[in-house]
Amino acid sequence: MKFSYNWIKEFVPTLDIPAEGLERLITMKTAECDGVEKVGPLREGAVVAQVLEAEAIPGYHNQKALVDAGPYGIKTVVCGAPNCRAGLATIYVPLGVKNVSGVLSDGMLASAAELDINKDHDGIVELDGSEGIPALDHAIEIDNKSITHRPDLWGHHGMAREVAAITGHALRDVVDMSRLPTPSWPVEVQVEDFSLCPRYSALVFENVTVQASPLWLQARLMAVGLNPINNIVDLTNFIMAELAQPMHAFDREKLVGPTIYARPAREGESILALNDETYELTPANLVIADGSGPIAIAGVIGGDGSAISGTTTTIVLESASFQASSVRKTSSALKLRTDASMRFEKAQDPRNTVRALARALELLPILSPGIRLVGGLADCCGLLAEPAAIPLNLDWLGRKLGRPMDAAEVRRILERLEFDVDSDFNVTPPTWRATKDVAMAEDLVEEVGRMMGYDSFPPTPPMVPCAPTYDPPAREFLRHVKRTMAAEGFTEVSNYSFISEGEARRFGLKPEDHLRVLNPIAAGQELMRTSLIPGIHRNIVENSRHFDHFRIFEVGHEIHRQQDAKPIERAHLMLALYAKDDGRAGLLELKRVAQFLAPGLEVRAAAAESFEHSTRAADIFWHDTKIGRLAELHPHLVEAGRAAVLDLDLALVQELAPAVLKYTAVRRFPTSAFDLSVVAASREPAGALERQIRILAGPLAEAVEYVREYQGPPLPEGSKSVSFRVVVGAADRTLSTPEILAIRDGIIAGLAAAGYELRI
């Protein structure tokens, strides 16, 4: 939001603080400013000049002009504008002497765009003899977010009121309410629901001339980021920027019927708007309509069918107030935000509608000489509630702000902000602050504190006992998981908890099993995820374009819907390891890392899901409970290389983990080990063989460790040899050789009975 320094000074005539100093004061007391920008720097030193002679320069498109530059004397200027001619009154800017087209040019004749008056680059400024040069201005940029709760600050008069209160200078009100005519209803107005449109006011004018606005008005609009269009439209934008009251002008000759309606749109209605876009409307959209249908989307944008044009001679000037939430919902639904909607969304004061019309009555004769008012004021208004008084306890206020409060100082601050304060310190906010801005005593704390200056309060730390806090076990467990994964070289990623229907189907997840978001933050984020795999897959695809290998992890929640119950959120860990190899090492590495969280887990082969490699998918079991999944992504999901993923249900892992780790004494007696090589089908999982050996070895088996795998001669094709090391021992003695051989022979016999060949 841009504010013109010159405009503010018109409301606070005695203001003697430069723009840069005012910007800092506003930041400290009212709203965050982003800086000050010069507007029209070429206007500084520019003068009104007259072209005495103009002749073409041979071989160039430029002309050599002899110019009477007033206080600068007679100057020779090279000008390329097509409208440069003898007798033209224009603007001269002293920029020094330069050689242009072989002629020494002293200064320049400027276009309106170069002077920041409008965006016209096609020629130099043409003055009619009565206009001067708009003064150099400064635009103070204010962050919109810091005034979103202050509808009164979306206009220069409201900001000037703040400046006057901060600096102690007097505020000048440019609105003369005595100009407003008595009601005589030049047009009929009907409001169907005053909760949606608290007030609709209008005036009718005839003998209107639509033309370009004076330079001062165009420059003023440009300074605050608004584009000049014509005198009638510029008037509505000027008053909007001045009084924070959006207005709209209709061509009365284009309206159908004698009545203007403020009503919800009917089913099936649409409107061609001023931006040349057609919008389909619903009853949730408030519209302004005539006998033929919608002529404007209330609070958002006008319709093209009733727009002001060069042939307009009679206008209906509208000044209305609309419910903030209605405008916000319509603007959001239509994906259309305008300068008007941004102000109406903040809850405007309905009493401001007639103030805007009174201001228009003063300006229109200047902008359109000969214009005439038809009849009086049309003002359709619901019941306007008066602001309620707020009791303010000064002792309580002092405790909130951290120092004793002087009653006279508090009264002076509030009265400068135009609050009414009675003898008992019952504070009544003005109507423009009672639109959901100031409603309770805590709001008054902010008003007093900011105007005193928060830097004036001593920074005293609170005298409260400090004690360390402890995280609940579930949170500490998740932190332990993250620390463990980071220590193993994995990089943490964080994805949104939302996925698209297409992503759900890609990974075999039914969209109807997901919770659906009614108002998604973006397209493709309409479902709440039931698995972390879609997000991890996006991470893999994106990073594979830049890296040949990487390892990532995410700790997040799956959200599962329940029939007639609240959804369940379960914490999951998903690891992904990508490399441009055959993928075998990735699966083994993920199994190794998983054992840090679930020591002794088992990997059991399982049927592959649609998104998994057909022969590289397994379930993870711990304490005979399935806790997760280990698999390689199907090659069609990864353009180059292989990606292995591990999914663990962290709630189950935490539940199955022993609550207390028990001490195990150091072994007193040695163990013995022997190796076995089992010939099996090449597709048979080594884990299945390991489980059989562990069962056959009996209770004296300390460990069964996978050693290696071999395929090739002299083994037949389609088979492999898998080697294991079996470690046996007893807690109370050293096993004898016959005992060890008995265990070994039992394993061999059991495997042979199961149809396996052993290489001994």
Residue 264 lies in domain = 177-381
Task: Give the three-class secondary structure for 238.
Answer: helix
Angle at Cα 15 formed by Cα 11 and Cα 16, nearest 5°? Answer: 155
Instruction: Indicate which CATH number applies to the domain containing 501.
Output: 3.30.930.10
Phi first, then psi: what are they for 322, rounded to 5°?
A: -125, 155
Residues 364 and 481 in one domain: no
Q: What is the pTM of this model?
A: 0.68
Q: Are 33 and 166 in contact (CB under 8 A)?
A: no
- Would you list the DSSP string of 243-299? HS--EEEEEGGG--SSEEEEEEPPTT-EEEBTTS-EEE--TTSEEEEETTEEEEETT
Rounded CA-CA distance 35/546 in Å is 39
Residues 216 and 147 in one domain: no
Residues 103 and 222 in one domain: no
Pick the last residue of a domain from 609, 625, 656. Answer: 656
Instruction: Indicate which CATH number applies to the domain containing 26.
Output: 3.30.56.10
- Read off the DSSP letter of residue 675: E
Residue 568: predicted pLDDT: 93
Rounded CA-CA distance 35/175 in Å is 30
Residues 331 and 211 in one domain: yes
Residues 421 and 483 in one domain: no
Residue 343: predicted pLDDT: 96
Residues 584 and 492 in one domain: yes
Residue 499 falls inside a structural domain: yes
Q: Count CB atoms within 10 A of the CB of residue 400.
A: 16
- Would you list the DSSP string of 106-169? EEEEPBTTTTTS-S--SSB----SS--PPPPEEEEEE-GGGGTT-GGGGSHHHHHHHHHHHH-P
Q: Count CB atoms within 10 A of the CB of residue 273.
A: 22
Pick the last residue of a domain from 596, 624, 656. Answer: 656
Residues 322 and 342 in one domain: yes
Residues 515 and 631 in one domain: yes
Q: Cα separations (Å) of 44 from 47, 63, 91, 217, 218?
A: 9, 25, 11, 18, 17
Residue 121 falls inside a structural domain: no
**Tokens standing for 603?**
């990997």
Residue 413 falls inside a structural domain: yes
Residue 524 falls inside a structural domain: yes
Residue 664: predicted pLDDT: 79
Residues 537 and 628 in one domain: yes
Which string of b and e fits 642-679 if b means at least 16 CB within 10 Å?
bbbbbbbbbbbbbeeeeeeeeeeeeeeeeebeeebbbb
**Tokens standing for 63?**
């002309």
Residue 520: predicted pLDDT: 86
Instruction: Indicate which CATH number applies to the domain containing 232.
Output: 3.50.40.10
Residue 663 falls inside a structural domain: no
Residues 589 and 697 in one domain: no
Enumerate residue ranges in the chain where pLDDT < 50.
none
User: Peptide bond preceding 714: is omega within 30 degrees of 0, i.e. cis?
Assistant: yes
Helix 231-243 / helix 352-367 crossing angle, nearest 10 deg: 140
- The whole-angstrom distance between residue 179's C-alpha and the CA centroid of its chain comes to 43
Residue 683 falls inside a structural domain: yes
Type of residue found at 433: R
Residues 223 and 283 in one domain: yes
Instruction: Indicate which CATH number applies to the domain containing 691.
Output: 3.30.70.380
| Number of structural domains in the chain | 6
Pick the last residue of a domain from 381, 411, 438. Answer: 381
**Tokens standing for 655?**
């539940």
Residue 114 falls inside a structural domain: no
Instruction: Indicate which CATH number applies to the domain containing 93.
Output: 2.40.50.140
Residues 267 and 192 in one domain: yes
Residue 125 falls inside a structural domain: no
